[in-house]
Chain A
Amino acid sequence: MRRYLASRLVQIVPTLFLVSVIVFGLQELMPGDPAVLIAGDSAGDPQVVAQIRHELLLDAPVPLQYLHWLGQVLHGNLGFSWRLQEPVAALVLQKLPVTAQLAAMAFFFSVLIGVPAGILSAVKRNTAWDWLANAVGLFGLSIPTFWLGIVLILVVSVWLGWLPPSGYVSPTQDLWRSLATTIMPAFVLGNAIAAILMRHTRSAMLIALRQDYVRTARAKGLSETVVVLRHALRNALIPVVTLGGLQLGTLLSGAVLTEQVFSVPGFGKLVVDAVYNRDYPVIQGVVLTTALLYVLLNLLTDLLYALINPRLRTA
């Protein structure tokens, strides 16, 4: 297990290095001279612009600029927002809990819908239930997140008046109002992942149900519920956990649009506002943080997989 952990940690180092190169590369693609943009009203003064270029090492060779940037990032300095005049790291830390709450609730919804639908589909293979579960899965994969959000706002908030159409309240402030403002965006966000989880659970259950241990359990006279839930599902869930963990990227991508539709002031809204205002350091900071989060959560998922899979645990 220790060797496994060490090898996984070694593997993420080159990935993170290349992620940093890609994110730094975005800076090189940005149109215009950052020094001119930062100079603002003083952009007409070549001396001011030259001084900013020198201070930010923009006149240095690109590899040196990269090393300087990387050094800053490793010290927790993700740059400075041109628009909000705040450190990007502070903005990220401020918005992250909001998206984390939304993502956690979305993941809960996706498991609640996806796993039972996948089990039902596999157990009742080639029946109307299977067809229905597959149709729901296909619907989840094909519907654009932002459109589902708009339709839900129209039906649930505008026509029925059950939930607020937008906004966000922190759970520490008012738990019930917090749930009321996040339940709809979380459902929308969880919908696409529910479809993916449903497909993974179905495939894993179909494989598990064909195994010898399931045949043995049935031969022992155990009820079908016990066979399915205790014997097949327990084994089928192992790959589902890993694949579910890999959906974090989908969650973060979906959060960008969901937060925009429901005006939730999280990570996604931060990057969209930065895009509208050409606030490139914020875009860069958000991309880097999401990638880091993704890599770390994947590592955690792998460790969880190793913990629940006895073959890897004893290796």
Chain B
Amino acid sequence: MTGGIGLLAPTLPAPKSETRLALERFLRHRSATVGLALIVLFVGVAILAPALSPYGPIATDWGAIRLPPSFAHWMGTDEIGRDELGRVIFGARASLLAGVVSVLLAAAIGVPAGLAAGFARGWTDVLLSRLVDAMLAIPFLVLAIALAAVLGPNLKNAMIAIGITTAPVFMRVARGSTLDVMTRDYIEAARAVGNPAWRIAVRYVLPNIFPPVLVQATLSIATAIIAEASLSFLGLGEQPPTPAWGAMLNAAQQFLTQAPWLAMFPGAAIFLTVLGFNLLGDGLRDALDPHRG
């Protein structure tokens, strides 16, 4: 009997989950896949740096000062004879580490604050929102420079400074998404069955504000990489002799007429990494929110 019904029933494909649909939309997004490929490339370069670098990043050769690109040194050598390719390869570590760690820090501060503001409303919301307004009133890089300057010039402090200054953006995104999620029927249902507030926030609200937070995180990594490069350009990031793309550009500026290639490669590396995250962020946004635009 059951077999008979099975034969007669129309063979409809199983409905696809939201996640699967988003994944399909993402994979169809050509520029997003290019972005992902760029990120994978740079992450791979950062991880495999010791194996990929033909020379050490701090090994000096006084007989090979400011050599133009050649077969021996694909990107030339710097003012104290260090291989530029090796320094660009190792420089990926500082940039990517700063991009990811500072955004994780920003999300760790901003998302719970935004969730609390949107969930509790009232005075909690007013106070947190005003604080965010105040932090956003100070131009991002100016505040990051001031914080990095008072904390002391090193990569760890640069990441803390960027993380703190990026946190308000996450708070805004999380708050806005929480307010939206709170109007949904499943929240009403979760309340009706007697779930405590913390459980509703963690179990039902948090997973549903994840997509916009993920998009923001990807785009913020791009901003954070530029911010780290800017701070290290100003001498407030990774300290010499450890290579960092921003600091390499600062040094290259002094030899612009004699060794212009020194200014090209670290800049191109920053540009391509940031481009990768921007492309990925745009693609994720289109995939996770197809109704937008």
Contact = CB atoms under 8 A, between A and B. Distances in A.
Interface of A: 14-19, 21-23, 26, 29-31, 138-139, 141-147, 150-151, 153-154, 158, 203, 206, 248-250, 252-254, 256-257, 260-261, 271-272, 274-276, 278, 280, 283-284, 286-287, 290-291, 294-295, 298
B274 interface: yes
A295 B146 contact: no
A305 to B, nearest CB: 17
The 8 closest A-B pairs by CB, nearest first: A18-B134, A147-B267, A253-B141, A142-B275, A249-B139, A252-B139, A253-B139, A275-B149
A257 B138 contact: no
B142 A253 contact: yes
Contacts of B147: 26, 29
Interface stretch (B40-48, B207-215, B250-258): B250-258
Interface in B113-156: 130-131, 133-143, 145-147, 149-152
B162 to A, nearest CB: 12
Contacts of A280: 149-150
**Majority secondary structure of chain B interface residues (helix, strand, loop or mixed):** helix
Interface of B: 130-131, 133-143, 145-147, 149-152, 222, 226, 229-230, 233-236, 246, 249, 252-253, 256-257, 260, 263-264, 266-267, 270-271, 274-275, 278-279, 282, 293
Contact of B138 (A30, A276, A294, A298): A294
A283 B143 CA distance: 9
7 contacts: A16-B134, A142-B222, A144-B270, A147-B270, A253-B142, A280-B150, A283-B145
B230 A291 contact: no
A76 B225 CA distance: 37
Q: Which of B146, B152, B270 has the most CB of A within 10 A?
A: B146
B161 to A, nearest CB: 11
Contacts of A261: 253
Contact of A260 (B142, B234, B256): B234
A197 B244 CA distance: 31
Contacts of B145: 256, 271-272, 275, 283
B76 to A, nearest CB: 15
A272 B234 contact: yes
Given A15-B130, A15-B134, A151-B263, A144 B274 contact: yes
